[in-house]
Amino acid sequence: MGKRQVLQRRGRGGSVFKSPSWRRLGKVGYSQITEEERSGSVEFTVQEILHESGRAAPVMAVKSQSGARVLMIAPEGCFVGQKVYFGSKAPVNVGNVLPLSSVPEGTMVCNIEGRPNDGGRYVRSAGGYATVVSHTPDGVLCQFPSGGIKTFPEECRATVGIVASGGIVEKPVLKAGSNYHKYRARSVKYPRVRGKAMSPYAHPHGGGAHPKGGRPVARNAPPGQKVGIIASRRTGRTKK
């Protein structure tokens, strides 16, 4: 028998691939919307700015006058003691949370909800932002840094501003140990060896006197064989 591949080991589970959820601060996202937010705005105060293991962007804890505490992605420029507002009548300032229908075109936003009241699903990584392009009858168009444009329902909420800690990707990784701990916090196995660098017993791409790529694999192949070019339409150089 050959060695189990990383994909098979991840599916089986275990301590290497178990997500360290006990290190997390809690659910990071918006709370359930209230009637006060729908018709006006609710004032929150930034209590503290926290670091969460496995997340590059900082998290800020905000608290309302009624005592409700929310963990949300911290935009760049927020500080402890700042007043932020949730609701349709909130001003368009950095840190405030508004429905996309109330956000003017050209505004940079982050932590966008995919569906109304889901807490935020898009643009949550450090330094990320999306730009509100236009308001249409079908919804609000937002452009991502990749250039792609997605339509969101008008009721979806978003935070005004850019996600903080954008320069973290510029910090060099000077040794493999730093990479190991970075991926360990995200429950990702590191290092990951290429299949064609292995022996034949360990991987379908392994073996041979010279390194070569894989070959097309059927879509209904078993998991141990389903690696490389899966159900490719064609391979090789195109004919002119």
Q: What is the dihedral of CA 196, 198, 202, 203, to 10 degrees?
A: 0
Greater pLDDT, 229 or 180 = 180
Q: Determine phi and psi for 55, rounding to 5 degrees.
A: -120, 125
The mean pLDDT value for 115-125 works out to 95
Task: Please write the tens of the pLDDT for every residue from 62-100.
Answer: 999 999 999 999 999 999 999 999 999 999 999 999 999
Residue showing tokens 């979806």: 156
Is residue 143 over pLDDT 90?
yes
Is residue 1 over pLDDT 90?
no
Task: Tell which residue, 130, 126, 132, has the closest CA to residue 163.
Answer: 126
Long-range contacts of 182-188 (CB under 8 A, 24+ apart): 185/20, 185/23, 185/53, 185/54, 186/54, 187/16, 187/17, 187/18, 187/19, 187/20, 187/54
Count CB neighbours of 120 within 10 A.
21
Q: What is the rounded CA–CA span in Å between residue 69 and residue 58?
A: 16
Task: Tell which residue, 129, 155, 152, 132, has the closest CA to residue 142.
Answer: 132
All structural domains of the chain with their residue ranges: 21-165
The model scores a pTM over 0.75:
yes
Q: Which CATH architecture has domain 21-165?
A: Roll (2.30)
Residue showing tokens 């990707």: 169
Structure confidence at residue 45 (pLDDT):
97
Task: Please write the tens of the pLDDT for every residue from 35-61.
Answer: 999 999 999 999 999 999 999 999 999
